[in-house]
Amino acid sequence: MSLLELKSIVVRYGEIEAVEGISLIVDEGEVVTLLGSNGAGKSTTLRAISGLEKPISGDILFEGQSIVGLKPEEIVRRGIAQVPEGRRIFPGLSVRENIMLGASNRKGLKTSAIRREADEMFDLFPDIRRFADALGWTLSGGQQQMVAVARGLMAKPRILLLDEPSLGLAPVIVQAVFAIIAEIRRRGTTVLLVEQNARMGLSVADRGYVLETGKLVLSGTPTQLWSNEEIRAAYLGGRTAAAHA
Amino acid sequence: MDLALQLLFTGIGIGSVYALVALGFVLIFRATNVVNFAQGEFSMLAAFMMVVFTLKLGLPYWLAFIMALVGMAAVGAVFNLAVYYPLRHRTYLPVIISTIGASIFLANGMLALHGPEPEVLEGWFETPGFLVGPVYVDSQYLLIIGVTAILVVLQYWFFEHTLLGKKLQATSQDKEMAALLGIPVAAMIMVTFVYSAVIGGIAGILVAPVLFVSIGMGAAIALKAFAATIIGGFGDVTGAIIGGLALGVIETFGAAYISVPYKDGFAFLVLIAFLIFRPRGIFGERVAEKA
């Protein structure tokens, strides 16, 4: 049994089908990346998993049980945490408070214990330690991304959904963010990573899916995806990347 | 100078009431992005509850006060479920219309139940007041200022130093993200409505001995409190308190030095000046500015 399984889900915004029958699986301990260009339906897929959008057909199974129709609060309590696109740091709360609230899905924790765990997060993200008491909005995009990932990890998720963590960040910061994803993977947390930056996505993933206008067009290991010349040109920007290299 | 001190005391007293009602506006606005136009009716309802409990049922003042607060908590909960919750996925407009409808319903419901005659509610203290130097300290105003100060401190402590306070803040800043973290958003909004109804009720009970208890008292207070929130900066807690106090002081001084009949006019003159020259208020929208 896979940890997470999507069975031909269809999600619609009004009349537009944003996701047209996507099926995919994520196994325990894997890092799986979902690639595709803008508007391909990647974020919508993650929103559906987290319960922010309801699929009009298909099913989403977590540990073999359907989670379609559950509230977002309930889904994260079951162990699916999401770090959404745009980071969504609470602007008026401090960095430490933002991270502490990541544990809201876990019951019966003392505030002091949550605070201690939040402070331990700074070992994984040393760059944001000195901003612990700064308000969320004062941080740069890269720092906010660190806070968002730390907040996601505070949920102690069975699976972490990451939506475009590289979006809008300088290349050197992207490197740092992906180093952290590699570290999360080393610690054994299952990750479903949505990326537009295929090169980065495949560099940390065990497997990848390629999405185009709401449909899955390809899946495989990073090596398999890279070796497909047509796919490289069309979806992964392989040629352009090679030309720049 | 003595007169000025006297006016300052009275102004801060009445301003505290505006500040409490304004706090209710701000808290609900931050949680739902909508102005609750029935906020003033919470004050009116609580004042009438006090009249019924003390005058009609003859209960001791403290017991009546506690019962009125419990009653207001229930009003807040029912208000949320009936007026806001069914429309929570709609835009702000249907919700605003819903709160206006609730305001009309509550005022006219009370009119039908009770009739138009105003009631007089006794103050908490036997002694009406005492002199401190040149200033006559009205005990009811002193109570209003004291209770407001305590509530503001408690609220500050609650929002800044408890995890529940942080969850409420998170909910008001980004509901979807709060839900993604497992914060029970519907429960947080319920807490906000209950609390706002209770502090609106406290404001009504405190001000009732100063004014008459009447059907229209809610609208009169709410209008001033609404002006206070705009002056302070909509959505800002500190702004609501400063705006409320400032408005109370301005209208008291205006009435004493310029004209009593135009007392209410001064508040709105200040409001208009703010709308023209500084529409986001004293403390408004600091967070949004950086984006």
- Please report which confidence band the pLDDT of residue B250 belongs to, taking 50, 70 and 90 as the band edges: very high
Contact A81 B180 (CB under 8 A): yes
Is A39 in a helix, a strand, or coil? Answer: coil
Which residues pair with residue A13 across a beta bridge? A16
Per-residue pLDDT reduced to its tens digit, A38-76: 888 899 999 999 999 999 999 999 999 999 999 999 999
Per-residue pLDDT reduced to its tens digit, B44-102: 999 999 999 999 899 999 999 999 999 999 999 999 999 999 998 888 899 999 999 99
Contact B182 A92 (CB under 8 A): no
User: Best-predicted range by mean pLDDT among A97-106, A191-200, B20-29, B266-275?
Assistant: A97-106
**A244: pLDDT strictly greater than 50:** no
A contacts of B291 (beta carbons < 8 Å): 137
Q: Which two tokens stand for residue A190?
A: 């299952």
- Please report which confidence band the pLDDT of residue A131 belongs to, taking 50, 70 and 90 as the band edges: very high
Contact A105 B182 (CB under 8 A): yes
Contact A52 B180 (CB under 8 A): yes
The distance of B182 to chain A (nearest Cα, Å) reads: 4
Q: Which two tokens stand for residue A168?
A: 């809008």
The distance of A82 to chain B (nearest Cα, Å) reads: 7
The pTM for the full model equals 0.84
Supply the angle between the helices B237-257 and B2-32 in degrees, to the nearest 10.
Answer: 150
Contact A137 B177 (CB under 8 A): no
Q: Give the mean model confidence (pLDDT) for residues B238-250.
A: 92
Q: Give the mean model confidence (pLDDT) for residues B116-140.
A: 85
Sign (positive/negative) of CA torsion A102, A106, A112, A114? negative
Comparing alpha-carbon positions, the chain A residue that sits nearest to B289 is A137
The distance of B193 to chain A (nearest Cα, Å) reads: 20
Nearest Cβ partner of B180 from A50, A111, A137? A50
A contacts of B285 (beta carbons < 8 Å): none
Any idea what the CATH number is for the domain that residue A78 is in? Answer: 3.40.50.300
Contact A91 B177 (CB under 8 A): no
What separation in angstroms does the CA of B41 have from each of B68, B93, B151?
A: 14, 20, 20
Q: Give the mean model confidence (pLDDT) for residues A130-140.
A: 93
**A154: pLDDT strictly greater than 70:** yes
Q: State the count of interchain CB pairs (< 8 A) between A and B.
A: 69
- Please report which confidence band the pLDDT of residue B291 belongs to, taking 50, 70 and 90 as the band edges: very low
Which residues pair with residue B151 across a beta bridge? none
Comparing alpha-carbon positions, the chain A residue that sits nearest to B180 is A72
Q: Give the mean model confidence (pLDDT) for residues B110-130.
A: 86
Could you give the number of structural domains in chain A? 1
Contact A155 B181 (CB under 8 A): yes
Q: Which two tokens stand for residue A55?
A: 């699929």
The strand ranges marked E within chain B are 129-132, 135-138
**A201: pLDDT strictly greater than 80:** yes
- Which residues span the domain enclosing A161? 4-244
Q: How far apart are CA B23 and CA B18, in angstroms?
A: 9
Average pLDDT of chain B is 90
Cβ atoms of residues B18 and B225 within 8 Å:
yes
Among B21, B13, B73, smallest CA distance to B203 is for B21
Contact A93 B173 (CB under 8 A): yes
Comparing alpha-carbon positions, the chain B residue that sits nearest to A73 is B182
Among A82, A85, A5, A149, smallest CA distance to B182 is for A82
Q: Nearest 5°: CA angle at A29, between A25 and A34?
A: 45
Among A132, B116, A159, A158, smallest CA distance to A146 is for A132
Cβ atoms of residues B193 and B27 within 8 Å:
no
The pLDDT value recorded for residue A56 is 93
Comparing alpha-carbon positions, the chain A residue that sits nearest to B186 is A73
ipTM: 0.90
**A234: pLDDT strictly greater than 70:** no
Q: Give the mean model confidence (pLDDT) for residues A218-237.
A: 77
B contacts of A88 (beta carbons < 8 Å): 174, 176-177, 180
Residue type, A100: M
Those residues of chain B whose CB sits closer than 8 Å to some CB in chain A are 162-163, 166-167, 169-170, 173-174, 176-185, 287, 290-291
- Please report which confidence band the pLDDT of residue A239 belongs to, taking 50, 70 and 90 as the band edges: very low
Exposure class string for B80-98: b at 16+ Cβ within 10 A, else e: beebbeebeeeeeeebeeb
Q: Give the mean model confidence (pLDDT) for residues A224-231.
A: 79
Count of all residues that appear for chain A in the document: 245
A contacts of B163 (beta carbons < 8 Å): 100-101, 111, 114
B contacts of A105 (beta carbons < 8 Å): 181-182
Q: Give the mean model confidence (pLDDT) for residues B102-128.
A: 89
Contact A71 B173 (CB under 8 A): no
Q: Tokens 């070992």: give the residue.
A: A123
Q: Which two tokens stand for residue A31?
A: 């890092």
Contact A101 B167 (CB under 8 A): yes
Nearest Cβ partner of A77 from B182, B185, B290? B182
